[in-house]
Homo-oligomer: A and B are copies of this chain.
Amino acid sequence: MNITIVGAGNMGAGFVKQLTAVGHKVTVTARDLAKAQAVAGAHTGASVAAPAEALGDAQVVILATGYADAVPALQGLGSLEGRIVVDITNPLTADYMGLTLGFDTSAAEEIAKALPGALVVKAFNTVLAQVLAEGPAFADGQIVPVFYAGDDERAKQTVRALVESIGFTPVDAGGLKNARYLEPVAGLNIYFAYGAGQGTQIAPTWIRRA
């Protein structure tokens, strides 16, 4: 495919490497063309163009700027009518520890607010009832994780022990505010199970390179 990459950061560099390696033709653009050149580097099949010249006949535009720059960067390309724009951005806060959109509260925080003395820990919300009923052992020796998030360390340790006692793998997901992440993770889990018809013996987890 012919692909235009907007943005010359780490993600842009990764796309140049992976896409040119399998023969895609890539055009890199950025406000700073020297940066675009550095990213395109010596990769065969990668070239650089100013924003207004970068679109050509690209079938796909990959938006690899930060979210704050996304709209102006796309507008700088000219008309995108009918073009496929792959949005890879996340609307991160300056410290990378929150989102600037859709991130104002969570069920867990509302519950904690309503019951000031209680030590609220978010947990098990990404475990479907059918998974809980059958237990933690999944295919290939994988164990279903239980993410837990809270602001009281001792309460979290107790929940961790509880999770371990029934054979699930406890995963510390930080402070209670991170329920703002865990609840949408569960939302996607429920979408896969019911909306996409994958069934209810599924669970989100994290994997590692080694």
Contact = CB atoms under 8 A, between A and B. Distances in A.
Interface of A: 1, 3, 9-11, 13-15, 17-19, 21-22, 24, 59-63, 67, 70-71, 74-75, 79-92, 96-99, 101-108, 110-111, 114-115, 117-125, 127, 129-135, 137-140, 142, 144, 147-148, 152, 155, 158-159, 161-162, 165-167, 172-174, 178-192, 194-196, 201-210
A159 B86 contact: yes
Given A90-B107, A203-B206, A184 B99 contact: yes
How many copies of the shown chain assemble into the complex?
Answer: 2
Contacts of A125: 87-90
Nearest to A101: B105
Given A87-B125, A207-B144, A107 B117 contact: no
A162 B60 contact: yes
A206 B206 contact: no
Contacts of A133: 10, 13-14, 17-18
Contact of A115 (B67, B74, B103, B210): B74
Given A84-B158, A129-B9, A204-B204, A190 B139 contact: no
Where chain A touches its partner, the secondary structure class is: mixed
A8 to B, nearest CB: 12
Contact of A132 (B11, B134, B196): B11
A70 B115 CA distance: 11
A66 to B, nearest CB: 10
A166 B87 contact: no
B159 A122 contact: no
B209 A138 contact: yes
A25 to B, nearest CB: 12
Given A84-B155, A86-B159, A158-B60, A111 B71 contact: yes
